[in-house]
Amino acid sequence: MQLSKNLLIKNKLGLHARAATQLVKVSQAYPCEIILECDGKSANANSVMGLLMLAGATGTEITVHCNGEQAEQALQAVEDLINARFHEGE
């Protein structure tokens, strides 16, 4: 199954190292491939460095693509993490 959804980075610091690490942990919990796209660049959600290269600042729209087994659950988990502002307590 392949799913995609546009999401908005809402936390104060954007997609920085700590947020990227949390996203990698969520991604690794699912067997599907998770790819994030931002401003024409893409990165595998299993790569902290790749995610940092997206330079997703606050207010940036990203597209999350999930392809494979448990894609729906993975997309929901990524959406929940982003909507929770990566649990940074802002």
Which of these, 53, 50, 52, 57, lies nearest to 18 by C-alpha position?
Answer: 52
16 is catalytic: yes
Q: Which of 16, 33, 35, 53 is catalytic?
A: 16
Contact 63/79 with Cβ under 8 angstroms?
no
Report the alpha-carbon distance of residue 88 to residue 13 in Å, rounded.
Answer: 9
**Positions marked active-site:** 16
